[in-house]
Amino acid sequence: MTAGVLRQIAGRPTAAIGAALVGGWILVAIFAGIIAPYDPLHSMQPLVLPGGHGAAGEAHWLGTDYLGRDILSRLVVGARSVIVLASAATLTAYLVGIAGGLAAGYSRGWIDSVLSFIANVILSFPILVLYIVVIVAIGASGANVILAVTFGSAPAIFRIVRAITMDIASRDFVAASVIQGETVLRILAVDILPNATGPLTVDFCLRLGYTAITIGALGFLGLGLPPPTPDWGGMVNEGRTLAFAYPHLVLFPCLAISSLVLGLSLLADGLRAGVGASR
């Protein structure tokens, strides 16, 4: 990431909006303890409408849910878990995908055949079914969400890294390192990986968005964080039956998920343009 890429982002209104949305949510997650007006687990008057007041006169900007918990507080604290979980899951998926992709793309031969076969087998399952199978098998918890997402998205990352590695490995500067007797690990770390960061950064940003959606979906299916932990997908699920009478139960968590994912997509677009321009 260079200053040139950042300038590109600043120069594009959509990318700037994306950066603002993502940055905003990150700030909310960091300062959740200060921003949240109430304890997200504390029950007060149930089903207060947005802007309404509870029995003791407390203001609820976004209303309360069926157990009387403040929705704004739950969203703010929930931001922390979705951002931490999505980043951790995407990062571990990347670690696995990059390691496999570099090994397969550089060595080709049987290592490539074996790794590509495994990746193709995993990719042949519908991804959501795969998540459900994994979570049902190992139980619902934060760590297991990370595990499931890694399992599901590492193969796609593996394929991207493998293709980029094959391309870069055919360049002359890699041949020069080989002729000088450079070690394979150092060739991968110094010659290949740094020259792949552009496309990988863009993909990372997009994938972070997909992962946020996935975590929402898992929460909605009751496979995310166990209740009563605030969880955006879980909030949509809990409000589902009452949504016709009290749409705010579903509307605000949905808006939260979409704004975060939209922000990441816009940011990825901006990065793509920036990476392209700085080449």
Residues that bind other proteins (CB under 8 A): 171-173, 175-176, 178-182, 190-191, 194-195
Q: Which is nearer to other proteins, 119 or 168 (CB)?
A: 168
Taking alpha carbons only, the member of 239, 187, 274, 190 closest to residue 66 is: 239
Q: How far apart are the first and last CA of the chain?
A: 12
Q: Specify the length of the chain in residues.
A: 279
Nearest distance from residue 178's CB to other proteins, in Å?
6
Tell whether the torsion through CA atoms of 85, 141, 207 and 90 is positive or negative.
Answer: positive
Nearest distance from residue 272's CB to other proteins, in Å?
19
Taking alpha carbons only, the member of 229, 185, 204 closest to residue 77 is: 229
Nearest distance from residue 10's CB to other proteins, in Å?
19
Is residue 141 helix, strand or coil? coil
Q: Which is nearer to other proteins, 21 or 102 (CB)?
A: 102
Answer for the pair 207, 221: CB distance below 8 angstroms, yes or no.
no
Q: How many other C-beta atoms can be found within 10 angstroms of the C-beta atom of residue 37?
A: 13
Q: Which is nearer to other proteins, 39 or 167 (CB)?
A: 167
Q: Tokens for 63?
A: 């209303």
Q: Which is nearer to other proteins, 106 or 252 (CB)?
A: 106
Nearest distance from residue 190's CB to other proteins, in Å?
7
Taking alpha carbons only, the member of 121, 115, 149, 155 closest to residue 134 is: 149
Nearest distance from residue 4's CB to other proteins, in Å?
11
Q: Which is nearer to other proteins, 179 or 185 (CB)?
A: 179
